[in-house]
Structure 1
Amino acid sequence: MAFRGPKVWLWRWRRNPLRRRADAVEAWVVLGTWLVTVLVGVLAGLAATRSVEDGLARERAEWRQVAARLTEKAPGSASDHPATFSGDRVWGNVRWTAPDGTTHTGQVRVGPGSSAGTAVTVWSDLQGHLVSRPATAAQAQLRSSLIGALVGMSAAAVPFVGGRVLCGRLERRRMSQWDTEWARFGPLWGRKTS
């Protein structure tokens, strides 16, 4: 087991006769990489979160519930599948009137065996197109937070990986310099010890 002395903070910036210029360069690269990584990750995450929250809030404000009617009997029969489970629904054709007065048709999930003319509640955008139910405020906050975290981590990965690649190149260059110096001084050192 190797002996380790006390950990010295900021050792790459302290004066030391063994410190090379490459050590100081690597220290600044590591510091810069971490600062840029954190800054890019936080800013990208916040921007994505705000964008998603704004989009979902706009959907909540613009999308409306509309009363629609089945145009024909839905496939299946109600006795075969009790409509207690949301997975026990079938596609049915419906007709509704948009806020501008135009009539639209589309398909939505309804209970099996629903008769023609059955009232169904659907969601419509300002143009009268069918849309899904908008996210609630709590759902929107959760979605935007998750998307913001994913975007932030993804964006932060770019400068982090770039910094790691640069540090790897600096390390290879430093090892090459060590090999060159060892090849030059190694044989001289061996003669003096014999």
Structure 2
Amino acid sequence: MARTPPTTVARVRLWRWRHNPLKRHSDVVEAWIVLVTWVLALLGGVLAGVVAAQATDSAFAARRAQVHAVSAVLTDGAAKAPPGGSGYEDGRVWAAVRWTDAVGKVHIGQAKIFPGSPVGSRLTVWTDHTGRIVSPPPSGTGATLQVVLTGVLVAPPAGATVWAGGWLIRTRLLRRRLAEWEEEWEQVGPEWRKRSGGRG
């Protein structure tokens, strides 16, 4: 005996965009909400990522404009000490250095160098407008990577925020549609039950 295959309801894709006598105005509105939400989520995410990346790049440029590189001289042998307990994974240690600024003023400060550097060796340090040694500004591949990562990390949350807003609007529309159906059923239901009960 042949088995009858189970009946399945085929899901019609994009049904809200097709002609259908049962389609309501709210269905069309929902279709546009879904379309606009996805478009804005994608564009908003990309735009937010680009803006964040540009802001990061501008911040790096401003940082580079506020500091400048100077040539300094190692003045003590502290760099020969092992880096144990220094807390820096690159193995560098702090040592005293001396440099002269553009107006001829001599400065003394602490800079990180690799152990074993002899006294009198030259190195490049970065200073701010007060003559204080600061960390080097991001530049080159490292800066580019940070700019790109900033954009990549900002884009998904921004797009998700837009999508969540569209989902909230769609949910409210669905609740309104269900309320309309319930109201219509209260009007049609009694008449339909009366006709169904009178058969036979």
Taking structure 1 as the reference length, what is the TM-score of the superposition?
0.72
Shift of residue 3 of structure 1? 1.6
Structure 1 residue 19: Cα displacement: 0.9
Q: Are the structure 2 counterparts of residues 56 and 187 from structure 1 closer, same or farther at C-alpha, using a change threshold of 3 Å?
A: same
- 2:194 aligned with 1:191, yes or no? yes
User: Which of 4, 7, 11 lines up with 2:9 in the alignment?
Assistant: 4
Tell which deviates more after alignment, 101-110 or 135-144. Answer: 101-110
RMSD (CA atoms): 3.7
Q: Name the residue aligned to 2:161.
A: 158
- Structure 2 unmatched runs, 5+: 1-5
| Partner of residue 25, structure 1 | 29
1:43 deviates by 2.1
Q: Call closer, same or farther: CA 1:155–1:98 in 2, change over 3 Å.
A: farther
How many Å apart are 1:171 and its aligned residue?
A: 1.1
Deviation, structure 1 residue 159: 2.2
1:79-108 deviation line (CA, Å, top 9, x unaligned): x8499x845445455443333444445443
**Structure 1 Cα separation of the partners of residues 141 and 116 of structure 2:** 34
Q: Is the 8 A contact 1:37 1:156 kept in 2?
A: yes
Percent identical among aligned pairs is 40
Is there any run of 5+ residues in structure 1 with no aligned partner, and where? Answer: none
Q: Deviations over 1:30-57 (max 9, x none)?
A: 2222222222222222232233334435
TM-score (norm 2): 0.70
Is the contact made by 2:79 and 2:113 (CA closer than 8 Å) also made in structure 1? no
Cα gap change, 1:122 to 1:185, in 2 (>3 Å): same
Count of residue pairs brought into register by the alignment: 190
